[in-house]
């Protein structure tokens, strides 16, 4: 473990303080490190506090040699601090959609967690990321849970995801990293406008701030805090959801309850970011009728058989090891 005490000033001290506030002892943990200022600063903060995190880097293979150079830089950074470095790579080179890139990254994270027994992954999302997510979810019609944005602590299977800096703006984190004397890599794709998130960042937010004459990111971040509390309330209200919910029990519940329960159930299956249309598609299965499957993003889906809902990783293939429908008759 690194023995450097918790010290600093200004923004860096605040950033370190947030890490101390959020941590729950030092279990074996990992940090997703792209090489950018945010993730490098988070890994550095954890290292200085004695956590000895594993460093996980995923190469999306969008930028050829520049991406390879990022991976090499992060590897050297980790080795200098005697930290375990693990590298993931996209199967194909070349730019993909943001959703495909995210899926590839999470597949790597979850696979590594299972392989090496890591139960906690720290990520450096900050207030700007939160604001972008809330606005994008709103425009997708994702509902109250979507407006809750990114959670400080969440679960993906058995892996707990920790994001301690959601209340700190991107500019402040870069300032804090400078105060700590850190170097980092700059990803030029963050400045282009090919991706939806990048257009929100570079076109929509500047326009909104010009029109409203005020900072809108912090307002959206506060909106997230409001809906986070409601999300926690509904989680307790709904209670534990079976792996295969019985649609007969859900059918007479209020519409608001059904929508929340469906979203919670999907998250439990590892599917997040459901749109309004996807939730309503699953709700139709609950109501009965001849429709037996609902298509979700990508190849995922939900099916109904014998009055039970089941998760489909790829449409046509039920992926649950516990229960498999033996008939395709309508419920």
Q: Are residues 190 and 283 in the same domain?
A: no
CATH of the domain at 286: 1.20.59.20
Q: For residue 137, what pLDDT is reported?
A: 87
Q: For residue 6, what pLDDT is reported?
A: 53
Residue 93 maps to a domain: yes
Q: For residue 55, what pLDDT is reported?
A: 98
Q: Are residues 99 and 164 in the same domain?
A: yes
Residue 57 maps to a domain: yes
CA dist 163 and 207 (Å) reads: 28
Q: Is the pTM of this model over 0.85?
A: no
pLDDT tens, per residue, the chain with 331 residues: 454 545 556 999 999 999 999 998 878 999 999 999 999 999 999 999 999 999 999 999 888 899 999 999 999 999 999 999 999 999 888 777 777 888 899 999 999 999 999 999 999 999 999 999 999 988 887 778 888 999 999 988 889 999 999 999 999 999 999 999 999 998 776 666 667 788 898 899 999 999 988 889 999 999 999 999 998 898 889 999 999 999 999 999 999 999 999 988 998 888 877 888 899 999 999 998 888 999 998 889 999 999 999 999 887 544 443 334 333 333 2
CA dist 149 and 170 (Å) reads: 16
CB count within 10 Å of CB 287 equals 11
Residues 6+ apart with CB under 8 A from 269: 311
Residue 208 maps to a domain: no
For residue 65, the SS3 value is helix
CA dist 275 and 142 (Å) reads: 4
Tokens linked to 276: 């309004």
Q: Are residues 281 and 190 in the same domain?
A: no
Residue 78 maps to a domain: yes
Residue 34 maps to a domain: yes
User: What DSSP string runs through 196-233?
Assistant: HHHHIIIIIHHHHHHHHTS--HHHHHHHHHHHHHHHHH
Q: For residue 231, what pLDDT is reported?
A: 87
CA dist 1 and 95 (Å) reads: 38
Q: Are residues 188 and 249 in the same domain?
A: no
> Could you list the residue range(s) of the whole structural domain that residue 75 is in?
10-203
CA dist 107 and 58 (Å) reads: 10
Phi, psi (deg, nearest 5) at residue 169:
-65, 155
Final residue belonging to a domain, choices 203, 222, 253? 203
Q: Are residues 114 and 246 in the same domain?
A: no
Residue 149 maps to a domain: yes
Asked whether 85 and 55 are in contact (CB, 8 A), the reply is yes
DSSP-assigned beta bridge partners for residue 159: 156
CATH of the domain at 186: 3.40.50.620
Final residue belonging to a domain, choices 182, 203, 224? 203
Residue 268 maps to a domain: yes
Number of compact structural domains in the chain: 2
CA dist 323 and 313 (Å) reads: 14
Q: Are residues 146 and 290 in the same domain?
A: no
């Amino acid at each position: 473990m690194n023995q450097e005490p918790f010290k600093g000033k200004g923004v860096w001290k605040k950033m370190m303080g947030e890490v101390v506030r959020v941590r729950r002892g030092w279990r074996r943990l990992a940090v997703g490190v792209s090489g950018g200022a945010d993730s490098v600063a988070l890994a550095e903060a954890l290292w200085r506090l004695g956590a000895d995190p594993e460093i996980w880097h995923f190469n999306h293979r969008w930028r050829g040699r520049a991406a390879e150079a990022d991976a090499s830089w992060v590897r050297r950074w980790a080795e200098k601090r005697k930290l375990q470095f693990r590298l993931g790579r996209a199967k194909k080179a070349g730019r993909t959609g943001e959703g495909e890139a995210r899926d590839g990254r999470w597949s790597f994270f979850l696979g590594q967690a299972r392989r090496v027994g890591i139960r906690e992954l720290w990520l450096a999302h900050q207030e700007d990321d939160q604001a972008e997510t809330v606005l994008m979810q709103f425009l997708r019609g994702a509902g109250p849970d979507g407006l809750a944005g990114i959670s400080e602590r969440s679960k993906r299977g058995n892996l707990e995801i920790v994001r301690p800096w959601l209340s700190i703006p991107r500019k402040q984190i870069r300032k804090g990293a400078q105060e700590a004397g850190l170097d980092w890599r700059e990803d030029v794709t963050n400045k282009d406008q090919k991706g939806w998130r990048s257009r929100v960042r570079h076109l929509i937010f500047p326009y909104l701030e010009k029109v409203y004459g005020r900072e809108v990111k912090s307002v959206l971040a506060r909106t997230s805090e409001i809906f986070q509390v409601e999300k926690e309330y509904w989680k307790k209200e709904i209670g534990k959801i079976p792996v295969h919910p019985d649609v007969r029990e859900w059918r007479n519940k209020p519409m608001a309850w059904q929508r929340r329960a469906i979203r919670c159930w999907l998250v439990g299956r590892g599917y997040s970011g459901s749109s309004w249309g996807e939730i309503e598609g699953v709700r139709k299965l609950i109501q009965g009728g001849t429709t037996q499957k609902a298509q979700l993003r990508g190849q995922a889906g939900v099916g109904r058989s014998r009055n039970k809902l089941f998760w489909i990783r790829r449409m046509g293939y039920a992926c649950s090891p516990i229960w498999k429908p033996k008939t395709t008759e309508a419920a």
